């Protein structure tokens, strides 16, 4: 079982490395970032309400990020369970920095040196309850919330923000945060 988990982590890191390099060559319009992100208020747990799935997160349930800034550096921990809330959680850690002059909305994160990936905060609600995170090229995106629950109207409004930024919102899938959500339409 340990080899399967190690292989999955290695594959995830390799994909993230590829995405990081491919993000360097993205053409087209740049994504508009949130004007200013208060890092102290942004710190903490963010539940992944929806994302554009890729193999490292596809099929995961109960997923979230824990974000902190020890010594002014980015420390981003992803936790998710594969297909079942009873499954052992998988975890990976990203370290990085906030890009100067970005209003704290553009981060560079690394699963391992020398690979760095972009973390773009496109929107954060005034009370820091909901956020949208994107990626250059618009192939990846995350709808985040401080709560594992989000009402349908808020979810639609956040997807509309992604659509206004040029995302194909049909690619987004809800991430089950409760066992009774598994298999429901849109999840």
Q: How confident is the model at residue 42 (pLDDT cuts 50, 70, 90)?
A: very high
Domain 2-181 - what CATH class?
A: mainly beta
- If one compares 71 and 21, the residue with the highest pLDDT of the two is 71
Kindly state the DSSP code that residue 178 receives in the 8-state scheme: S
Could you state, in order of their start, the residue ranges of all structural domains in the chain?
Answer: 2-181
pLDDT for position 132: 99
Query: What does pTM read for this prediction?
Result: 0.85
For 107-167, the DSSP string reads: EEEEEETTEEEEEEEEEE-TTSSEEEEE-TTSS-EEEEESSS---HHHHHHHHHHHHHTT-
**Contact criterion met (CB below 8 Å) for 133 and 141:** yes
- pLDDT surpassing 50 at residue 22: no
CA distance 49 to 86: 19
For residue 13, the model assigns a pLDDT of 46
Pairing of strands 44-51, 60-68: antiparallel
């Amino acid at each position: 079982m340990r080899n399967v988990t190690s292989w999955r982590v290695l594959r995830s890191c390799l994909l993230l490395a590829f995405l990081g390099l491919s993000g360097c060559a993205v053409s087209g319009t740049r994504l508009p970032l949130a004007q200013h992100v208060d890092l102290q208020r942004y710190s903490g747990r963010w539940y992944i309400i929806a994302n554009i799935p890729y193999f490292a997160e596809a099929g995961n349930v109960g997923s979230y990020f824990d974000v902190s800034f020890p010594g002014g550096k980015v420390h981003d921990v992803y936790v998710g369970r594969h297909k079942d809330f009873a499954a052992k959680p998988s975890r990976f850690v990203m370290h990085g920095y906030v890009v100067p002059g970005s209003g704290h909305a553009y981060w560079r994160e690394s699963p391992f040196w020398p690979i760095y990936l972009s973390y773009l905060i496109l929107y954060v609600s005034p009370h820091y309850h909901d956020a949208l995170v994107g990626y250059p090229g618009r192939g990846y995106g995350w709808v985040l919330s401080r709560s594992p629950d989000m009402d349908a109207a808020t979810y639609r409004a956040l997807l509309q923000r992604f659509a206004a930024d040029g995302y194909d919102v049909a690619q987004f899938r809800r991430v089950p945060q409760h066992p009774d959500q598994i298999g429901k339409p849109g999840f």
